[in-house]
């Protein structure tokens, strides 16, 4: 059974940083691309970033490019999201999600984690 478990959320001050983790199990993590998606309170889904299975290709939404960094540890089956220069607009539930394909292309996700909440507030 595919399982994704996010951690690392919490309350952070504006301008601060936070690193999210996503522990994967139940599938061959090293052979699939992975995504981060967020959902602000009462709002819809916003795709943030994708990393290819090998980690060499990374793509970002305009809203986070230059501030957020996606990375992965295939030996530890873990996905990461380093978030810097946070503002109130970054307050959201952050989901890690699995790409259904093992390619260098970002395609609509098939499995989602339960999410971790990030609140940016002073």
Partner 1 sequence: SSELTQDPAVSVALGQTVNITCQGDILNKYYATWYQQKPGQAPIRVIFGQNKRPSGIPGRFSGSSSGNTAALAITGAQAEDEADYYCGSRDSTNERVVFGGGTRLTVL
Q: Does 24 bind partner 1 (CB under 8 A)?
A: no
Is 108 a binding residue for partner 1 by CB under 8 A? The answer is: yes
Residue pair 5/22 in contact (Cβ under 8 Å)? The answer is yes
Of the candidates 40, 59, 41, the one whose C-alpha atom is nearest the C-alpha of residue 99 is 59
| 100 lines the binding site for partner 1 (CB under 8 A) | yes
Structure tokens at 3: 């399982």
Pick one of 47, 53, 68, 94: the residue that binds partner 1 (CB under 8 A): 47
Q: Shortest gap between Cβ of 4 and partner 1 (angstroms)?
A: 9
CA distance linking residue 37 with residue 94, whole number of Å = 6
Binding mask 67-96 for partner 1 (x = CB under 8 A): ----------------------------x-
Torsion angles phi and psi, residue 9, rounded to 5? -70, 170
Q: How far is CA 104 from the centre of its chain?
A: 17
Task: Single out the residue of 5, 23, 77, 111 in contact with partner 1 (rule: CB under 8 A).
Answer: 111
Binding site for partner 1 (CB under 8 A): 35, 37, 44-47, 50, 59, 61, 95, 100, 105-115
């Amino acid at each position: 059974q595919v399982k994704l478990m996010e951690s690392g959320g919490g309350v952070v001050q504006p301008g601060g940083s936070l690193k999210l983790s996503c522990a994967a199990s139940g599938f061959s993590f090293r052979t699939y691309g992975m995504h981060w998606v967020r959902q602000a309170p009462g709002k819809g889904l916003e795709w943030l970033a994708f990393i290819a299975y090998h980690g060499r290709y990374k793509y970002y939404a305009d809203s986070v490019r230059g501030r957020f960094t996606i990375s992965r540890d295939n030996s530890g089956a873990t996905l990461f999201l380093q978030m810097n220069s946070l503002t109130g607009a970054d307050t959201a539930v952050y989901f890690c999600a699995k790409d259904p394909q093992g390619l260098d292309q970002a395609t609509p996700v098939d499995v989602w984690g339960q999410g971790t909440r990030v609140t940016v507030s002073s």
